Amino acid sequence: MRIAFITTSFPLTECSVSGVFVEKLAWHIAQEENLFVVVPSGTTRQKISSQKPYAITEFRYAPRKWQLIAHQCGGIPVVFKKHRWLILFIPAFIVSMLITTIRAGMRSDLIHANWALTGAIAGLAGKLTRTPVITTLRGSDVSRYEKSWVDRLILRICIKTNKRVIAVCKPLMGEVSKYFPHATNKLLSVHNGVDESFLKIKKHYNKSSLFRIISIGSLIPRKNMSLIFKALAELGDLSDIYVDIVGDGLEYDMLLQLGDELGLGERLRLTGSIVPNDLPEYLGVADVFVLSSYAEGRPNSVIEALASGVPVIATDIEGVSEIITHDKNGLLFPSGDHIALANALTRLKEDPDLRREIAKNGRNYIIENKLSWTNCAGQYLNIYKDIHKK
């Protein structure tokens, strides 16, 4: 079977962090089926190794230096907030993706799109080429449904034109079912996996007085990273606390200023974007992982922290509460409540035994639920085969 994998976010260089989890899925599917990836061009020419098990087809939509719509921190909506002039290139972007996807559909047995926008465009291309289409929804494309008529239209086209629509967690599938009760026969849930490198981390639990906090994600308003700093301000003495904020985005300078105001100095690292393969090294020395987001689909950073044996403190929101059971394999706190987050940090800081117990339960959760990319890809392969038979 020949699969066309369509996405707006995908690593085009070895050091890129754009859509790494999408690439992991593509890599594992390509072990079993003939797969090629269609993706927007970036500002630099691709430097992907020829040893990858898939081919990449890029589509251009602007002069190279202006190809900023995709592959940026926080995704396409955040990019338009930062560079409003890029809206001028939306028609070219959509037309170019549609034409390229039509060509891809003509030489493939199935199209697999990622995110609702891509799914809508791929769905239209699939109708023209009579190629079945499935789309994976990853959270943000659904959370905007009630806020924007454009996002409502996109999701409606996606649902109407696709054979199957996959949600990365059951709460997300429930949300889509609420909006489209007539389409429940099309909806499925397939959880993302985690790379085995995180499970291989030999965790050495810190017995010194130092307490190392890590958070990973795009530095954008939805991730609410500033809440971590507000919680730290409640702790008083920060002399034995180190903080790693791994990621880049609009709020980098603001977070750096907050760290200065708290007097963290060299004990705060804002790493910017890092090579994905370096992430296990950061998690390997962390005492606690914090997710402070207002909304998520099924955050890969939480799954990776659990697999790494790092105790997790996270916002009690759908997509997270499906993974984390409070007081068992992590701690949950109400969205936006920096006092509750401060209390959770204090609790884990002062109780190393609790940290070890929660961390052990977290890693066991990953193993027992078989949250690997191999298992995730296997579920998609079964969906492909089921559709192809029909």
Same domain, 166 and 180: yes
The predicted pLDDT at position 46 comes to 64
Q: Apex CA 125: angle with CA 109 and CA 159, to 5°?
A: 95
Judge if 53 and 149 occupy the same domain.
Answer: yes
Domain shared by 25 and 154, yes or no:
yes
What's the predicted TM-score (pTM) here?
0.90
Same domain? For 176 and 213 the reply is no
One domain for residues 238 and 269: yes
What is the C-alpha separation between 165 and 380, in angstroms, rounded? 11
Q: What are phi and psi of 144, to 5 degrees?
A: -85, 0
User: Could you give the count of Cα atoms lying within 13 Å of 172 in the half-sphere of its Cβ?
Assistant: 28
In this structure, what token pair is assigned to residue 160?
A: 């109407």
Is 137 in contact with 114 (CB distance < 8 Å)? Answer: no
Q: What is the pLDDT of residue 339?
A: 97
pLDDT reported for residue 351: 93
Domain range for 188: 2-193+372-389
Query: How much is the pLDDT for 388?
Result: 84
- Do residues 101 and 75 make contact, with C-beta atoms less than 8 angstroms apart? no
Cβ-contact 268, 259 below 8 angstroms? yes
**Residue 157: burial class (beta carbons within 10 Å; 0-12, 13-18, 19+):** middle
How far the first Cα of the chain sits from its last, in Å, is: 14
Residues 160 and 236 in one domain: no
Query: What is the DSSP secondary structure assignment for residue 325, as one 8-state letter?
Result: P
Could you say which DSSP state residue 58 is in? E
Query: Residues 215, 135: one domain?
Result: no
Is the same domain home to 214 and 363?
yes
Is residue 187 within 8 A of residue 177, CB to CB? The reply is yes
Q: Residue 383: which CATH number?
A: 3.40.50.2000
Reported as a single tens digit per residue, the pLDDT across 37-72 is 999 998 877 665 567 899 999 999 999 889 988 887
Are 60 and 11 members of one domain?
A: yes
Q: What whole-number distance in Å separates Cα of residue 116 and Cα of residue 372?
A: 24
- Give pLDDT, residue 78: 75
- Could you tell me if 169 and 268 lie in one domain? no
| Whole-number Å distance between alpha carbons of 128 and 185 | 23
- Residues in the chain, pLDDT under 70: 46-50, 74, 204-208, 390
Read off the tokens for 180: 């489209």
Helix (H, G, I), strand (E, B), or coil: what is residue 295? coil
Sequence letter at residue 95: V
Look at the chain and report how many structural domains it folds into.
2
65 burial class (0-12, 13-18, 19+ CB within 10 angstroms)?
exposed
Place of tokens 């919680």: 231
Q: 278 with 173, same domain?
A: no
- 248 shares a domain with 177: no
